[in-house]
Amino acid sequence: MTNEMSTQVPGFDWKTLLFSFEGRIRRQHFWIGWLILLGAGVVAGWIPILGGLIGLLLIWPNLAIAVKRLHDMGQSGWLVAIPWVVTIVALFVGLGTIGFSAFANAAALEREDPAAIWALIAPAFGMVALICLVNLGFLLWIGLTPGTNGDNRYGSDPKAAG
C-alpha cells in the first residue's frame, strides 16, 4: 500500500512537470526536476556541438518548473525573468566596462602593466559574482520557500492532492 502511494502522486507526471507552465508544484518536485535538468545539462556539456543545442532546449523545462514553483508560492510566473534580466544587463555592463577600460588604458596594456591588466579583468569578476549571487538567491528562494496553503489563483494545493 505504501509503495503504491509513493509511486503514484495525483497530478504529478513528467510531461506536466517539465513542459507545462500551468498549475503548481511542490518544492520536492521542483528539486527533483531541477536536479534531473542539471544532470542533463552537465552530460550535454560533454557533447561538442549537439550539447549546446541540448542546453538551449533545456531552457524551456527549467522555466516551466520555476514558473510552477512561483505559482505555488502565489507569485506571478513572470518573476522568473529577474535572473535573466540581471544576467543580460550584467553581461552588457561588464563587457562595456572591459571595453572602456581597454580603450582608456591602451598604452598601459601595451606595456603589460599589471595594474592595467587587473583593471581590465576586475569588472568581469564582479559581474560574474553578481550573476552567480542573483541566480543562486533566486534558486534558493523558489526552492526553499513554502507554497501557499490551500488553493490559489494558479490552482489547487499540490500538497492537498498528495
Q: Which DSSP symbol is given to 155?
A: B
- The pLDDT value recorded for residue 55 is 92
Q: What is the Cα–Cα distance from 12 to 26, expressed in whole angstroms?
A: 10
Residues of the chain with pLDDT under 70: 1-12, 161-162
> Distance from first CA to last CA of the chain, Å, rounded?
14
- The pLDDT value recorded for residue 12 is 61
- The pLDDT value recorded for residue 108 is 82
For residue 125, CA distances in Å to 18, 102, 114, 121 come to 33, 16, 16, 7
